[in-house]
Amino acid sequence: MGMPPRRLAACCLAAAATLAVAASLGLAAGASARPVVSVKAKIVPVPIDASKPSSPGYPHTGNLLGAPAALEATLQISGSEYFGGPSPVTRVVVDLPAGTKLHPQGFTTCSMAILESHEVQKCPKRSYAGPPGEVLGVVSFGSSRVHEKGTLQAFFAPGGKLAFYTEGREPALVEVLAFAGVTSAPPPFGPRFSAEVPLVATVPEAPYASVLSIKSKIGAGFMQGKKLVSYGTVPKKCPKGGFKGKVQITFLGGETVTVEPTVPCPKR
């Protein structure tokens, strides 16, 4: 299109997680409704090759108590408060269930130089933190607001962070890099992912891009001798009612929507 790459607002959950700064720049005139957010999550096997979207999983991983696992999540956002669509996402916070273990040791990180140059195809294979995911958004193209599909790829980044790279090709060329920090959430939750989502205008002075849906899977592993080293491990105990998580999405106008998805306990 002859258009330089622009940053596209994207968030991670996952899986996958995973991804996602409060801002207060111009909502459409008269807009007051809050976006509606839904989150579905499930525990799945650890992919053998985290760089491929349809990789088979390692045996004896997935929705089993105390087992290595990956997290698959689907986030959907609806609304009409921002130029006919939902308000742009500016921050995402994901709290995982208490007892969830994360083990980043042994994985390779993709360098900041590669990530910031957007040449992510040069990232080491062991730096992939999950298979490619999907993003659907609304962008400004000319004078119109149109849908744009893109891919979302997670990497292990320096400083114990996860990097999320989103790329779209049609109708506009868009590229975005966002980072999620990993800390501990207050009880009754466990690990917390916090991501700032950059605002994006694909056309100068046009409305920012909005996210409609994200499907992502976070989870990776490698064999060390006969032992599987997994980034994530399922809690050893499941509370009555299932594993409970928490997702907080902050939007451009400062609104924060909280969703608490539940994953059923594994069958014994």
Domain extents in the chain: 12-263
Residue 78, pLDDT score:
96
Q: Quote the tokens at residue 116.
A: 């910031």
pLDDT values of the chain reduced to their tens digit, one per residue, 268 residues = 333 333 333 333 333 333 332 222 223 333 447 899 999 999 999 999 999 999 999 999 999 999 999 999 999 999 999 999 999 999 999 999 999 999 999 999 999 999 999 999 999 999 999 999 999 999 988 788 999 999 999 999 999 999 999 998 888 778 899 999 999 999 999 999 999 999 988 888 889 999 999 999 999 999 999 999 999 999 999 999 999 999 999 999 899 999 999 999 997 6
Residue 169, pLDDT score:
84
Note the pTM of the prediction, 2 decimals.
0.84
